[in-house]
Amino acid sequence: MMALYIDINRLLLRKVKDLRCLTQIRNRVKEKWAATRPKHPPTRVALQHFDATYTAQLGQLWPSVRIALLSERKYGALINNFSQDAGFADLEAQGCRDFISFRDGEAGSSFEHIDANSQQPFPLHLSQNIRCFVFPKGDTTRFKPAKPDQFGLLCYYLMDAASVLPCLALDVQEGHTVLDLCAAPGGKTLALLQTHMIGYLCINDSSVSRTLRLKKVLQSYVPKQFLADDRLRITSFDGTKWGEIESNTFDRVLVDVPCTTDRHSLMEDDNNIFSKSRTVQAACPGGEILYSTCTLSLNQNLNVVEQGIYLAEKNHDIRLQVVSLQHLTKMFRNTFHFAPDLHLGEMVIPHLTANFGPIYLCKLRRLN
C-alpha cells in the first residue's frame, strides 16, 4: 500500500513538473509570438476585406473563388520564340497544350484543335505567334523550370495563363506603335514581343527597381541585338503623366495597372493609374487601350474604367468607345472561368479546376 502511495506521489510530482515545463514553454512561445507576430497579419485583414466585399459582389460564386484563391495557382508556359529550343515536344509529352491554338473539347480534359478554315469570323487577329501551354483542367502538374538554349535564352516564361488574354485582346497588328505603360516585371511585354509584329515598342514602368528587374527578364529571353534596336525603348516615367510626355502617338496602349493583386494582397484600393485618365491621351485617335488588373475588385475595375471614360471626355474632350471582348471569352471559355454578366469588360475568376486569374480586362477605342 505504501509502495502504491509513493508511486502515485511520484507520478503526481512528475505531472506537476511536466505542467510547469509546459507552462514555461507556452509562456516562452507566447512571448516570442507577442514580439514577432503582428496582431492582425495583412493576409488575414485582406481575407476579411475580401469576404466582406466579394460576398456582396460575387454572391454565390465567392466561396468557390475564395477556396481557389487560397489554393495553389496554376501557371502557363509562354513560349519564347526567340529561343532556339522552344521545348514543345517536351511540353506536349507532359500532356499540356497551347491554349491559344487548341481548344478544350466538350468532354472532360481532352483538347481539340481549332481548324483555321472552320473558325468563326473573329474580329481580333489573334497573333499566331503567341503560344502559351497549359495543363488540362483539373490537372495541377507543375512546369519544370525553363531550360536555356545554346545562347542562354530561356525556352519559356511561366506566368498566369490568363495574363496572356490582355495581350491577345490588344490585337497588335503589323507595324503598330505600342506602349506598355506598367510593364514590370515583363510577362506581358514578353508576350507582346512574341507577336513579331510591333513596329515600335515603348516599355515603361515608373519603378526604377522594377524596371531593372524587367531588363533582367528581357535579357534572359530576348537576343541582345533585338534589345539594342531603335524600335524598342525602355523608360521609367510616371504613367499618369504620359499625356504630357507624348500624346496622340500609339496605336495600342496596354495599361496593366498596379492593384490589390488579390492573390498576394496587402495593398490599398486607391492606387490606380487609369483614374487619372491622362493615359488615354497616349493613344492616337482610332487607337486602342487595354486596361487590365489582377483583382476582382469592382472599384478597381469597372468603376475605374467608367471614371476614366467620364474624365477623358470631361477634361480632355476625348471620346472613348468600349470594345466588346465577348468573342474572346467564348473562344477560351473551356480554359478559363469567366465572370458572368459584367456590363463592362471581362474577368477571369479563379476556380479549383482552372486556377488562373483573377484577371480583369476592358478594351477602349479612342474615337477622336
Ligand X SMILES: C[S@@+](CC[C@H](N)C(=O)[O-])C[C@H]1O[C@@H](n2cnc3c(N)ncnc32)[C@H](O)[C@@H]1O
Beta strands in the chain (DSSP E): 76-79, 97-98, 102-104, 111-113, 132-134, 156-159, 177-180, 200-204, 232-235, 250-256, 283-293, 320-323, 346-348, 359-366
Residue 258 found at the interface with ligand X (CB under 6 A): yes
Reference 281, options 293, 273, 270, 292; nearest CA is 273
Taking the least distance from each CB to ligand X, the nearer of 206 and 334 is: 206
Question: Is 158 within 8 Å of 190 (Cβ atoms)?
Answer: no
Q: What is the DSSP letter of 56?
A: H
Residue 76 found at the interface with ligand X (CB under 6 A): no
- Which are the contacts of 199, defined by CB distance < 8 A and separation ≥ 6? 174, 175, 176, 177, 231
269 annotated as belonging to a binding site for a ligand: no
155 is catalytic: no
CA 308 to chain centre: 21
Question: Is 313 within 8 Å of 319 (Cβ atoms)?
Answer: yes
CA 136 to chain centre: 19
Question: Is 112 within 8 Å of 103 (Cβ atoms)?
Answer: yes
- Pick left, alpha or beta for residue 252 (phi over 0 → left; psi -120 to 50 → alpha; otherwise beta): beta
283 annotated as belonging to a binding site for a ligand: no
Residues 204-233 that bind ligand X (CB under 6 A): 204-207, 210
188 annotated as belonging to a binding site for a ligand: yes
Q: Judged by CB under 6 A, which stretch of 84-92, 124-132, 185-193, 296-304 contacts ligand X?
A: 185-193
Residue 239 found at the interface with ligand X (CB under 6 A): yes
354 annotated as belonging to a binding site for a ligand: no
- Beta strands 320-323 and 250-256 are unpaired
- Of 155, 202, 294, 362, which residue is the catalytic one? 294
Residue 100 found at the interface with ligand X (CB under 6 A): no
Taking the least distance from each CB to ligand X, the nearer of 102 and 165 is: 165
Taking the least distance from each CB to ligand X, the nearer of 155 and 253 is: 253
Taking the least distance from each CB to ligand X, the nearer of 134 and 162 is: 162
Residues 144-163 that bind ligand X (CB under 6 A): 163
Q: Could you say which of 46, 183, 192, 354 contacts ligand X (CB under 6 A)?
A: 183
> For residue 210, with 0-12 CB atoms within 10 Å meaning exposed, 13-18 middle and 19 or more buried, which class applies?
middle
Q: Judged by CB under 6 A, which stretch of 31-39, 78-86, 238-246, 314-322 contacts ligand X?
A: 238-246
Torsional sign, CA 55, 59, 63, 68: negative
76 annotated as belonging to a binding site for a ligand: no
Residue 201 found at the interface with ligand X (CB under 6 A): no
Q: Could you say which of 86, 203, 273, 331 contacts ligand X (CB under 6 A)?
A: 273
Q: Judged by CB under 6 A, which stretch of 16-24, 86-94, 176-184, 308-316 contacts ligand X?
A: 176-184
Q: Could you say which of 109, 240, 299, 353 contacts ligand X (CB under 6 A)?
A: 240
Residue 43 found at the interface with ligand X (CB under 6 A): no
Residue 185 found at the interface with ligand X (CB under 6 A): yes
Contacting residues toward ligand X, per CB under 6 A = 163, 181-188, 204-207, 210, 238-240, 256, 258, 273
Q: Which residues are annotated as a binding site?
A: 182-188, 205, 238, 256
Active site residues: 294
